Amino acid sequence: MAYTEEELKKELETKEYEYGFYTDIESDTFPVGLNEDIVIAISKKKEEPEWMTTWRLEAFKIWKEMEEPEWANVTYKKPDFQAISYYSAPNSKPKYDSLDEVDPELLDTFKKLGISLDEQKKLAGVAVDIIVDSVSVATTFKKTLGEKGIIFCSISEAIKEHPELVRKYLGTIVPQKDNFYAALNSAVFSDGSFCYIPKGVRCPMELSTYFRINQANTGQFERTLLIADEGSYVSYLEGCTAPSRDENQLHAAVVELIAMDGAEIKYSTVQNWYPGNKEGKGGVFNFVTKRGLCEKNAKISWTQVETGSAVTWKYPSCILKGDNSIGEFYSIAVTNNHQQADTGTKMVHLGKNTRSTIISKGISAGKSQNSYRGLVRINSRAKNARNFSQCDSLLMGNECGAHTFPYIEVKNKSAQIEHEATTSKIGEDQIFYCNQRGIPTEKAIALIVNGFSKEVLNKLPMEFAVEAQKLLEISLEGSVG
């Protein structure tokens, strides 16, 4: 018989996490707890120069004095930072020249995730830097990129091979003392990606990274630093899934982007960390600091599809320092069951004629809470700045919530700010309309959600858009198969 909202809700609740498997790879894991010795040990383990160790220790000192923030519209049991192990690396030799040398079980994991590492990637034009539990295991197509002078490697490698670049820019966009999680990340970051695009170079392929938490009880602290030199262009993709674990896992990443004069960075994320089970047990805590700096005529565009994690706290932001610079933020955030997301962006206009666009789509189902939190700040010097914000919420069922917290601070009279917001509900009427035309309920929901998210999905690179659409369907459709 036909569908009721009750049945729809039930179906959404029974949707299980598809990537909940655990790979048994021997790991080299530090004892739990955090103190100076652990910070030094991480640095040593990674064979870092002294300046790096000092930098980490500074961050640790700052972090110790800081309080975990409470202003976000989320409630959770705060992690016990002394009960977490801060380093875990797959035990096998960490670097390989070819795939044949990679642990077959690890390759199997990738296969389950649908990541193909073979030559097809080259045809698809994707270079992948994969991070499994903190250490980059395989980096491909470095050679092709090298010919253009592009550096794309793990941050650990960059610290060793390109210390002058790392030292110059690390922490300039997100300083150690920026916030609680950024300070923690600065002290203990295990690995991450580094990318440098030289002057005037257009990166010939989409750069992509897959993250994955694998070891139970291991915090994952990624550090990404991306520098686009004058007039260069790069499109960077970041996607992740995590296996199903009972304990809450902490993920506190920091991403710093620098777009110099006339450069353009497109940064796309698909986030699918384990969201916890339908009772709200387990799941990843995702506390991320992402920020980019735009110099003159530069452009940074953040696109994110957030479907996973039990708790998300994430505000990819743009500092529009240079005149005529452009910041964009396109976001789809899906929450189901007991998930909580507090996400949005900050657009800080410092330069003249700076422009920013914010398009945020929140989809809430089950008993979840989905908040948009955004700041648009026009400083006194920022003549003729413009912002357009649009925040749309889609609700499914009667037990979820959608919230919008827009902050607008304008200190220059020439600014033009627009803000639009809508809230709608997938109604039985919409579903019945689709049903009557022969479209079953699951397909109808997918159709409605995709329609709702279209403006953001269109911003994703092709190969990612397909994956993102699939994720939206998995996250909301219910018991397919």
Partner 1 sequence: MLKINDLHASVNDKEILKGINLEVNAGEVHAIMGPNGSGKSTLAAVIAGKEEFEVTQGNVVLNGEDLEDCAPEERAHKGVFMSFQYPIEIPGVSVTNFMKTAINESRKARGEEDMPAKEMLKLIRDKAEMLEIDRKFLSRSLNEGFSGGEKKRNEIFQMAMLEPKLAIWTKPIPGWILMRFA
Given the rule CB under 8 A, which residues bind partner 1? 1-4, 424, 427-430, 432-441, 443, 447-448, 450-455
Count CB neighbours of 250 within 10 A.
23
Is 368:396 a contact under the CB 8 Å cutoff?
A: no
Q: Nearest approach, Cβ of 4 to partner 1 (angstroms)? A: 6
Apex 109 CA angle, 104 and 114, nearest 5: 120
Is 68:10 a contact under the CB 8 Å cutoff?
A: no
CB closer to partner 1 out of 1 and 462: 1
CB closer to partner 1 out of 143 and 437: 437
Closest CA to 267 of 290, 243, 249, 244: 290
Burial degree of 269 (CB within 10 A; 0-12, 13-18, 19+): buried
Is 234 in a helix, a strand, or coil?
Answer: strand
CA 20 to chain centre: 19
CB closer to partner 1 out of 4 and 398: 4
Q: Where are the beta strands (DSSP E) in 168-314?
A: 193-197, 206-212, 223-228, 233-241, 249-251, 254-259, 264-272, 284-294, 299-306, 311-314
Q: Nearest approach, Cβ of 397 to partner 1 (angstroms)? A: 16
CB closer to partner 1 out of 216 and 421: 421
Q: Nearest approach, Cβ of 188 to partner 1 (angstroms)? A: 42
CB closer to partner 1 out of 4 and 116: 4
Q: Nearest approach, Cβ of 131 to partner 1 (angstroms)? A: 34
Q: Nearest approach, Cβ of 451 to partner 1 (angstroms)? A: 3
Q: Which amino acid is at 108?
A: D
CB closer to partner 1 out of 146 and 427: 427
Apex 307 CA angle, 303 and 310, nearest 5: 125
Q: Nearest approach, Cβ of 422 to partner 1 (angstroms)? A: 9
CB closer to partner 1 out of 83 and 480: 480
Q: Nearest approach, Cβ of 450 to partner 1 (angstroms)? A: 7
CB closer to partner 1 out of 17 and 330: 330
Q: Nearest approach, Cβ of 3 to partner 1 (angstroms)? A: 7
Count CB neighbours of 24 within 10 A.
8
Is 168:129 a contact under the CB 8 Å cutoff?
A: no
H/E stretch holding 6 reads helix 5-13
Q: Which amino acid is at 263?
A: A
Q: Which amino acid is at 287?
A: F
H/E stretch holding 389 reads strand 386-395
Q: Nearest approach, Cβ of 392 to partner 1 (angstroms)? A: 9
CB closer to partner 1 out of 73 and 450: 450
